[in-house]
A and B are shown apart, each in its own frame.
Chain A
Amino acid sequence: MSQAELAVATGHGTVMEASPYGFDKKKLGMWVFIISDACTFGAFLFAYGYMRIGAPVWGTPFGWSSIANGMLMTAVLISSSLTMLAAVRATQVGQRSSASKWLGTTMLLGVVFAALHLREWFKLIGEGWRLFHNPTGGAAQFGATFFSVTGMHLTHVVTGVIALAFIARGYNQGRYDETHVETAGLYWHFVDLVWMFVFPLMYLMNAR
């Protein structure tokens, strides 16, 4: 007799069968969100590829300084994934102060990433690149695709920093437990994963 049948037979309807995934529903919900978000980013990047193939001349505005800035951004994001892992580890062994310290470091690295990102944007805007304007006379779609894809990613980073702030506060106050931190960590690693495609496709493929 299964747990569910036993529950019905004995009148204890609240007994549930264990999840086949072996983890709680928050984490499963985050995985469903990640699948849908991966498809959204995939569609953005495919749209970029479509426009790029269809355009006879494409803008290649990134010199070595921009690529170096992109590498630094990547290093910052990978480091933030490691500090997030440290925070999850600390919550699993109940080290509340250590978890707060690592969550704070992750948020700080997220802010540094956003600042480096905006620096690159302002540099491009200063050179005359806009959403629908190419200062070199090539395809105007470069600005539209670059600013929309990187803007979408930047929005995810900023949202992640805000979410981590709420989770850290709730964890410190005892309202949230280690599963909340682990679920937030899953989102943060996904943002890192997306950047692994955005950097080569949007920066390296458009290097001078």
Chain B
Amino acid sequence: MSSNRELTMSSYVGVGIGLMAIVIVEVFLTFQHLPARTLLSCLLCLASLEAFIAVMYLMHVKYEKPILFWTVFPATMFVLVFLCYVFPDAFRMFSMRLMK
């Protein structure tokens, strides 16, 4: 059950405008022709910020009991971070192509 501390509809519109502003920043950075690694880092940070805002406010996690956050967030992050284990193999594939 959500608490009564929830935002008003006009505040939610503000959250939506904030999310759209982050998207505009992402597009602006894209056309600055940054190095791919820098651009990827910036875009992932901004996307994570957007996701955090969406989870906390649009999906109401901020207004639920903290046990929900501590059940959902660490388990999901654990799986997603461990997926990164495959990336060294992708770099190996890339190096092998260059050696041919």
Contact = CB atoms under 8 A, between A and B. Distances in A.
Interface of A: 20-23, 31, 34-35, 38-39, 42-43, 46, 49-51, 53-56, 67, 71, 74-75, 78-79, 81-82, 85-86, 89, 186, 189-190, 192-193, 196-197, 199-201, 204-205, 207
Contacts of B84: 46
A185 to B, nearest CB: 9
A42 B64 contact: no
Interface of B: 1-2, 9, 12-13, 16, 19-20, 23-24, 26-27, 30-31, 36, 39-40, 43-44, 46-47, 50-51, 54-55, 58-59, 64-65, 67-68, 71-72, 75-76, 79-80, 83-84, 86-87, 89-91, 93-94, 97-98
A75 to B, nearest CB: 6
B47 A200 contact: yes
Closest 6 CB pairs of A and B: A54-B93, A53-B90, A200-B43, A196-B50, A204-B30, A50-B90
Given A21-B71, A54-B94, 9 more contacts: A20-B67, A46-B83, A49-B87, A71-B27, A81-B16, A82-B16, A189-B54, A193-B50, A199-B23
Q: At the interface, is chain B mostly helix, strand, loop or mixed? A: helix
10 contacts: A53-B90, A54-B93, A54-B97, A85-B58, A186-B59, A193-B54, A193-B55, A196-B50, A196-B51, A205-B30
A201 B43 CA distance: 8
A23 B27 contact: no
A78 B76 CA distance: 23
